[in-house]
Each structure stands twice: as structure tokens, then as C-alpha cells.
Amino acid sequence: MKGLLAGFALAAVLGLVSAAGATTSTPFKVSSTLDGKAVLPHRIHWLAYPSLAHANVAKVEFLIDGRVAWVEHGAPYVYGSDEHGTREGYLVTSWLAPGKHRFVVRATATDGATASDTVVARVLPAPAPPAALSGSWQRTIDATGVPAPGSSGNPTSTLVAPGRWTITFERRWVHDQAPGKFVFPKSNSDGTGFVFLDDYTATPTRINVAGEVIMHQVRDNLAEGGWWCWPNGPGAAYNWSVSGDTLTLAPVGGNDACRVRGFVWSGQWTRVR
């Protein structure tokens, strides 16, 4: 009789598990580098740390205000890419409206179990660029001599389309627009229509440019979301000056460590009216 009752109990448990789609995995937790922060800086490494062994983690999602902005399938779990742990990208907050935002990391185990960690933190207003620098500028680029794809000056093989480029300085970023219209998949072969969103700060005479401002997962069918060299830079400093309708950009020391960016940026630009 005892064995029969035990059998009924086991069947009932299995039936409940099946009906509910439950999992028998051990509960786990996830934390992140944003934990405990009430105000986020302009840029910060956002990493997630599931308490599971890496082999048992299927994916980690990074959500901002309920929207999945980045997904990682392998450790380390870094928002904005990491080049296998060697070049961790950043969460740059300049594109978010000033005020409180909800930042969530959600880890999913290989058996489907999930754990999440939520931080509600305030984002500060991004500073406006100097008035003389603000707005859009254009210059014509001859792609002859662009750093070779895969070289140290162009490690991620950024394509530079020849023609009229537009650079725009605003609160959120420096917006670099390649000539032409982005058409997938053609643009992934010739670079037309590419958009780069550079993280930067500016003084009345100098621009400090860093890596990319990343708002969503990089996808081949989108014009923006890639980066000049690596997701985290390298950074560079530029002297800038304006005379009439002409903007002159010159890397401090004569070189931008990300030479493909320097190839496009360095020189004279004409204000767009």
C-alpha cells in the first residue's frame, strides 16, 4: 500500500511539472557591475555575472527600459561586445534621456531556467558641444590610401566609401555618415551609407573621441552599430578650430591610433547650411 501511494505521489508531481512546464534545475542568481549605483557615469563597463558555470549558461540579455539592447552567448558577458574578453565595450549613457532608467540583466540557463537583476539608476544630461563645433560638416574623401583591412590601423576591416562624408557633433555622439544610401547586403561590400556613432567629449579647442555609442545588437542589415576599430576604441585626441565655414580637425601628436578613423576625420570640413 505504501509503495502504491508513493507511486501516485510521484505521478502527481510529474504531472504538475509537465503541466506547468517547470524546470528541475538548481536556482541561480545573476549580478552586474551596475549593482548599487544610483547615478550612472557617462560611460561604464556593464558586465553580468551568473552564478552558474559558463557551460550551463545559454545566454545573457541586457535590457534597458524593457527593451533587449544586447545579447551575449558566451563569457565574459559584456554589454557592447568584448572581442573574446580582450576589449570590453561600454554602456555609454549619452543617448538616454536624462532621468531614471531601468537596467536589467537576464540570464537563461541551458535548461531554460532564468534569473534577473534589476537596477534603477539616474542618467545625467550629456553636455552640448561648443557652439562653434555644433552641427554638421562635410568633406570629400578619396579612399586611396585607406589603411588596409585587418591591419593594425584598421583591425576590424572597416570599409571607407569614397565620396562626401558628413560629420555631426551633438549631445549624444559624433555622427559619422558615409556617402550614399545604406542598402543591405550591398553596403557590406562597399561601405556606402555606413553610420558610426562616436563617444566623445569636447572643450573649446580639443575633442576626445573614444569608442562607439552602442544602443542595440550589431546586425549586418543595419547601417549603424559597428565601430571604426574596436568597440572600446582606441581613443584619440583631436585639436579643432573653425574659421568661417571651415572646420579643421588634426589628431594630437599627428596620429589617431585608430588610423582608419583618422583617415576620414583628419583635414578640413565645410559647414552644411
> Band of the pLDDT at 226, cuts 50, 70, 90?
confident
Map out the domains of the chain as residue ranges: 24-123, 135-271
pLDDT reported for residue 41: 96
Give the closest residue to 265 by CA, choosing from 243, 231, 240, 242. Answer: 240
User: Cα dihedral sign for 17, 18, 21, 23?
Assistant: positive
Confidence grade of residue 7 (pLDDT, cut at 50, 70, 90): very low
The H-assigned helical ranges of 62-105 are none
**93 phi and psi, to 5 degrees?**
-95, 0
Q: Dig out the grid coordinates for 214 from the structure.
A: 552602442
Task: Indicate the class that CATH gives domain 24-123.
Answer: mainly beta
Residue scoring higher pLDDT (127 or 21) = 127
Give the pLDDT of residue 246. Answer: 98
**Residues composing the chain:** 273
How far, rounded to the nearest angstrom, does the alpha carbon of residue 39 sit from its chain's CA centroid?
20
For 89-122, write each residue's pLDDT tens digit.
Answer: 999 999 999 999 999 999 999 999 999 999 999 9
Q: Which of 11-15, 25-29, 88-92 bottoms out in mean pLDDT, i.e. has the lowest?
A: 11-15
CA 128 to chain centre: 21
Residues 6 or more apart from 239 whose CB is under 8 A from it?
205, 206, 249, 250, 251, 252
pLDDT tens-place string over residues 60-96: 999 999 999 999 999 999 999 888 888 999 999 999 9
pLDDT per residue as tens digits for the range 115-141: 999 999 999 999 999 999 999 999 999
Using the structure block, give the residue that is written with the C-alpha cell 551596475.
34
pLDDT at residue number 25? 64
CA 26-32-36 angle, to 5 degrees, is: 115
Assess contact for 117 and 108: CB atoms under 8 A. Answer: no
- Residues 6 or more apart whose Cβ sits within 8 Å of residue 131: none
